[in-house]
Amino acid sequence: MSRHIAVLLGGPSPEREVSLSTGKACADALRAKGWQVSEIDAGRDLASRLSDINPDVIFNALHGAWGEDGTVQGILETFGKPYTHSGVAASALAMDKHRAKAVLESVGIACPKSVLANRFDAAKTHLLPPPYVAKPNAQGSSVGVLIVKEGANRPPAILASDDWPYGDEILIEEYIPGRELTVAVLGDRALAVTEICPNTAFYDYEAKYADGGSVHAIPADIPTNLEKAALEQALGAHKALDCRGLTRADFRYDEKNNILRLLEINTQPGMTATSLAPEQANHVGIVFNDLVEWMAENAHVPCDTAGKTKDQGA
């Protein structure tokens, strides 16, 4: 009898459409590997819907706030069945860019200089000298990212607008010129270094997800020592935040000044066959369907109230 897995997709975040694509691709892959798959468009009734179908494993294909910030992970811990990707604490920490950077810097991983601010304060005056990046402290996929160019007279007015939907905490971050690099980590292995060449002004939401938005060069054409450093730092960040399963670390490389800076860790990267992390897995010989099944088979088993995993017994 095939194992029953629930694939969570969609959800209420600004990254809903990406999650629908990720979830469908993963559900199709699991069906091809012989799993019984139930797709759940996740909402506030998630706990009751999971109870109704009682799957053996849960594949969390959600993106963005609620789905990857520790909230859904808390529901899944309570439900008690194995679930993919990182747990509550790691998910919440990685989504909080400011606090995640503090942890990474504490273990020697260099990140861009930054200031955490209320968006209304960030709209009044430059909190760092331009050029700099202003972005929501707790969103993914470059949602809401603004580039303040050198010579700008004032910060972006949208930060103080009633139309700003991304929360009041804004990270003001040093702009690192140069090349965009990314490294996926699977379990305890950093897979490869990809250079992302966006066809937009920077690697924004459109560049990530629109057809033709970017070109991926894998392996990146970079010096061997830089490749080694990026792989080591991605794996180090994965471990420092206590992540599980698949993550992706995004970097900026200032080639002129030989500066590598880790921007952030994505605990639930995009999972279509052409997404960055699956591309890297395929590059090292792990085809998409096998990658998805590995994630399902290595899903985290929640702890009981005594702090033991379900398969450890009393």
Q: How do residues 103-112 score in pLDDT, each as one tens digit?
A: 999 999 999 9
Q: Are 61 and 9 in contact (CB under 8 A)?
A: yes
- Is the same domain home to 10 and 55? yes
Q: Stretch 13-33: mean pLDDT, rounded? A: 95
Query: Does a structural domain hold residue 223?
Result: yes
Quote the tokens at residue 262: 């880790």
How does residue 313 score in pLDDT terms, banded at 50, 70 and 90?
A: very low
Annotated catalytic, 105? no
> In the 8-state DSSP scheme, what is residue 42?
-
> To the nearest whole percent, how much of the chain has pLDDT over 90?
84
- Is the same domain home to 26 and 37? yes
What does the pLDDT look like over 264-304, one tens digit per residue? Answer: 999 999 998 789 999 999 999 999 999 999 999 999 999 75
pLDDT value for 212? 55
Q: Are 241 and 103 in contact (CB under 8 A)?
A: yes
The tally of domains found in the chain comes to: 3
- Is the same domain home to 195 and 305? no
- Is the same domain home to 100 and 191? yes
- Is the same domain home to 102 and 183? yes
Which region, left, alpha or beta, applies to residue 187 given φ > 0 means left and ψ of -120 to 50 means alpha? Answer: left
Catalytic residue among 119, 137, 270, 279: 270
Catalytic residue among 39, 173, 264, 293: 264
Rounded to whole angstroms, the Cα distance separating 114 from 169 reads: 13
- Is the same domain home to 144 and 248? no
Q: Are 64 and 42 in contact (CB under 8 A)?
A: no
- Is the same domain home to 197 and 234? yes
Rounded to whole angstroms, the Cα distance separating 267 from 84 reads: 10
pLDDT at 205 over 90: no
What residues contact residue 61 under an 8 Å CB cut-off, 6+ apart?
A: 7, 8, 9, 19, 22, 23, 26, 27, 268, 271
- Is the same domain home to 50 and 186? no
- Is the same domain home to 104 and 70? no
Which of 161-175, 194-208, 291-305 comes out lowest in average pLDDT? Answer: 194-208
Annotated catalytic, 209? yes
Q: In terms of residues, how long is the chain? A: 314
Residue type for position 106:
S
Cis peptide, bond prior to residue 177, ω within 30 of zero: no
Catalytic residue among 250, 275, 282, 293: 250
Q: Domain range spanning residue 244?
A: 94-111+177-267
Catalytic residue among 209, 244, 253, 275: 209
Average pLDDT value for the chain: 91
Annotated catalytic, 15? yes
- Is the same domain home to 25 and 167? no
Annotated catalytic, 264? yes
pLDDT value for 274? 80
Annotated catalytic, 154? no
pLDDT value for 204? 46
Quote the tokens at residue 30: 């699991």
Query: Does a structural domain hold residue 239?
Result: yes
Catalytic residue among 10, 11, 13, 15: 15
Annotated catalytic, 34? no
Rounded to whole angstroms, the Cα distance separating 117 from 183 reads: 29
What does the pLDDT look like over 177-191, one tens digit per residue? Answer: 999 999 999 999 999
pLDDT value for 213? 62
What does the pLDDT look like over 25-65, one tens digit per residue? Answer: 999 999 999 999 999 999 999 999 999 999 999 999 999 88
pLDDT at 209 over 50: no
* Distances, alpha carbon 162 to alpha carbons 120, 156, 231, in Å: 11, 13, 41
Q: Stretch 13-21: mean pLDDT, rounded? A: 91
Annotated catalytic, 248? yes
* pTM as predicted: 0.89
